[in-house]
A and B are shown apart, each in its own frame.
Chain A
Amino acid sequence: MSKGLPEARTDAAMSELVPEPRPKPAVPMKPVSINSNLLGYIGIDTIIEQMRKKTMKTGFDFNIMVVGQSGLGKSTLVNTLFKSQVSRKASSWNREEKIPKTVEIKAIGHVIEEGGVKMKLTVIDTPGFGDQINNENCWEPIEKYINEQYEKFLKEEVNIARKKRIPDTRVHCCLYFISPTGHSLRPLDLEFMKHLSKVVNIIPVIAKADTMTLEEKSEFKQRVRKELEVNGIEFYPQKEFDEDLEDKTENDKIRQESMPFAVVGSDKEYQVNGKRVLGRKTPWGIIEVENLNHCEFALLRDFVIRTHLQDLKEVTHNIHYETYRAKRLNDNGGLPPGEGLLGTVLPSVPATPCPTAE
């Protein structure tokens, strides 16, 4: 499955590209293969600038889900990631609000703008996960929600009169919060990730990592990685979707050394060495959230936002969604589902190319 057009990986790269006006060649171009030498400048590299312009105009959607026991700092971390109050912290709720008896799904949308680019960010919270005495199947409401978003998208897609831009509510990324016990994963963690890693991109993070020393952190991470491997759980970035060697080496390094990221979140600022930094102040020192010697928040942020944001969306669309779609069409006997078809038999729906303007 092709990933579509090559995309600029970072904002920096995109801003560096300025189209230079060059004279068009007088000689008509022969059809050339990819690796042949160009006899003159064509201008296909300006597509990046064109994409950038379009994206800036339309903005893009990003849907991130957070899952984990209450009190692991999920909302704080998301607020820190996007440097705004996009998630309402449960600790600021009315004290009367109790832990919900079943897992609830709460989706809150915000529009964030940076450098002229508008992002419609939706944070999907899952309060009640793992908090009860009996947490059997507590992931089912989450799986149901994710599949419902695929269903919504599918229905729009198979419509005869489709919208120009299908609203994308599909979950692009699921941050799973692991409790920093220092021992190993908990049975619930395994169960959740086993069921959901086939349906959505899961990025495991070790929450509240300021309770672990450096040695404890690295031992814990090794054990977690090994347990995930032994249980056949593929977290994002999945090995099977590495496109080329470049991807593979970059992702291998992340998979085998950095992940799961041990993070600390904070919405409070303190003065350290003359700078104002986000952190946590304790009697024995100040933990700086963005200091790589203290925790790996910066790595997570760069990974999710600065390098792999577009890839997260593409894998969701080209792989997870396609898997869902294929299963639905198969179940339906090759026919597209939905009421908008009046029972007529249509030729098989062609694969939708990756939407470039999202």
Chain B
Amino acid sequence: MDKEYVGFAALPNQLHRKSVKKGFDFTLMVAGESGLGKSTLINSLFLTNLYEDRHLPEASARLTQTLTIERRGVEIEEGGIKVKLTLVDTPGFGDSVDCSDCWLPVVRFIEEQFEQYLRDESGLNRKNIQDSRVHCCLYFISPFGRGLRPLDVAFLRAVHDKVNIIPVIAKADALMPKETQALKQRIRDQLKEEEINIYQFPDCDSDEDEDFKRQDAEMKESIPFAVVGSCEVVRDGGTRPVRGRRYSWGTVEVENPHHCDFLNLRRMLVQTHLQDLKEVTHDILYEGYRASCLQSLARPGARDRASRSKLSRQSATEIPLPMLPLAETEKLIREKDEELRRMQEMLEKMQAQMQQSQTQGEQSDAL
């Protein structure tokens, strides 16, 4: 008997078509002290000039400047796929003489996006929820220091459970190869010491070929990526034109893996992990925020910081609630949670049924 063709295999194509039609939203935050080449790197990554209208303030103006959050949107289209990229900048970070608490506006901003999403999710019209949550934060570390500075540690500690952090070493052409290795090791050690959780690139599937696995392992070992950015093309007589920085002693090529990790960053961030970053933001970071938000509402005074473990929706509703008058939205959330749980149970039942019929079919084939 021929195995019947149901047609599930076409599912990925359907998803693909849908997402192509819908387009793709991504919010990327860029943070680090000024002068580390952040805008140049972003322009290099996305091959656009996002910072044309930027005005750099002088030092005396920066004496009294407070940190601001700036958003820039750009639509990039490539191969029929539309990406709506939102860049979040933090000008003024790390500039002042006294930078105490200068990361608080950033933390607040990230939380506000979560709050907004939480409200939208519990709202009545959920068809067009705008996802303005920050999916990834590229944190720029100075190549001149001896690793993470106190300010870097403070910032990372404040946001690591709220956003995916990808640390990069900026202006990596300041370093000789040995220095780069030493700095990377030092930063990795410091991240471990200070218990800062950065975005973990997921392991590749076990059925990938050896080459891919090796490449993947190499890439993971080169974190934090040491990057160089440039939007200028250097034409050096006989050699082919490359994007790079021309010095009197030679030209740094941005896309040369022996010169810097730009290609790795671009590959891992844009080509392979854009979707995963969004998923981690939604499944883990947002859930963590949501859980701690609801917990603190249910138990006033109990400031419970949720860990980064996967908190399923079920466990959130199982927490014993004292008999307090709940607000409208909380009631709605609880109702929806119940609904979802019921739907999940139904789905599981259906799946079990399908499995059963499949094995039965196979058994009858074997006979």
**Which residues of A line the B interface, CB within 8 A?**
69-73, 90-91, 99, 131-136, 179-191, 207-208, 210-211, 213-214, 223, 227, 230-231, 280-288, 293-294
Q: Which of B217-253 contact A (CB under 8 A)?
A: 245-253
* B contacts with A, residue count (CB < 8 A): 42
CB neighbours of A91 from chain B (8 A)? 146
Q: Please state if A213 and B245 are interface contacts (CB–CB under 8 Å).
A: yes
CB neighbours of A280 from chain B (8 A)? 176
For the complex of A and B, list the 9 residue pairs with the smallest distance between their C-beta atoms, beginning with the closest: A181-B35, A285-B250, A285-B249, A284-B250, A185-B59, A71-B145, A211-B174, A71-B144, A187-B63
Q: Which of B26-46 contact A (CB under 8 A)?
A: 34-37
Q: Please state if A133 and B173 are interface contacts (CB–CB under 8 Å).
A: no
Q: Please state if B249 and A294 are interface contacts (CB–CB under 8 Å).
A: yes
Considering the complex, give the chain A residue whose CB is closest to the CB of B152. A133
Q: Please state if A135 and B146 are interface contacts (CB–CB under 8 Å).
A: no
Q: Please state if A183 and B98 are interface contacts (CB–CB under 8 Å).
A: no
Q: Please state if B247 and A183 are interface contacts (CB–CB under 8 Å).
A: no
A262 to chain B, nearest CB (A): 12
Q: Please state if A134 and B249 are interface contacts (CB–CB under 8 Å).
A: no
Q: Please state if A283 and B177 are interface contacts (CB–CB under 8 Å).
A: yes
B182 to chain A, nearest CB (A): 8
Q: Does chain A have a CB within 8 A of B162?
A: no
Complex-state Cα separation, A99 to B145, whole angstroms: 11
Considering the complex, give the chain B residue whose CB is closest to the CB of A288. B249
CB neighbours of B60 from chain A (8 A)? 187, 190, 227, 230-231
Q: Please state if B174 and A284 are interface contacts (CB–CB under 8 Å).
A: no
Q: Does chain A have a CB within 8 A of B269?
A: no
From B62, B177, B246, B248, give the contact of A282 (CB < 8 A): B177
Considering the complex, give the chain B residue whose CB is closest to the CB of A268. B176
Q: Count chain B CB atoms within 10 A of each CB in A69, A183, A187, A191 and give the residue with the most.
A: A187
Q: Please state if B248 and A184 are interface contacts (CB–CB under 8 Å).
A: no
From B59, B95, B251, give the contact of A284 (CB < 8 A): B251
| Sampled A-B contacts (26; CB under 8 Å) | A70-B146, A71-B142, A90-B146, A99-B150, A131-B150, A132-B150, A133-B150, A134-B98, A134-B100, A183-B56, A187-B97, A213-B246, A213-B247, A214-B247, A214-B248, A223-B58, A227-B59, A227-B60, A231-B60, A283-B177, A283-B258, A283-B259, A284-B247, A284-B252, A285-B247, A287-B247
A280 to chain B, nearest CB (A): 6
A283 to chain B, nearest CB (A): 5
CB neighbours of B96 from chain A (8 A)? 187
Q: Does chain A have a CB within 8 A of B151?
A: yes
From A184, A208, A230, A285, give the contact of B144 (CB < 8 A): A208
CB neighbours of B143 from chain A (8 A)? 211
Q: Please state if A208 and B100 are interface contacts (CB–CB under 8 Å).
A: no
Q: Please state if A71 and B59 are interface contacts (CB–CB under 8 Å).
A: no
A314 to chain B, nearest CB (A): 31
Q: Please state if B173 and A211 are interface contacts (CB–CB under 8 Å).
A: yes
Complex-state Cα separation, A105 to B145, whole angstroms: 20
A215 to chain B, nearest CB (A): 10
Q: Please state if A188 and B97 are interface contacts (CB–CB under 8 Å).
A: yes
Q: Please state if A186 and B95 are interface contacts (CB–CB under 8 Å).
A: yes
CB neighbours of A281 from chain B (8 A)? 176
CB neighbours of A182 from chain B (8 A)? 35, 37
Q: Which of B55-77 contact A (CB under 8 A)?
A: 56, 58-60, 62-63
Complex-state Cα separation, A187 to B143, whole angstroms: 20
From A73, A188, A191, A282, give the contact of B173 (CB < 8 A): A282
Q: Count chain A CB atoms within 10 A of each CB in B58, B249, B250, B251 and give the residue with the most.
A: B249
Q: Which of B87-106 contact A (CB under 8 A)?
A: 95-100
Interface string of B172-215 (1 = CB under 8 A from A): 01101100000000000000000000000000000000000000
Interface string of B115-158 (1 = CB under 8 A from A): 00000000000000000000000000011111001110010000
Q: Does chain A have a CB within 8 A of B171?
A: yes
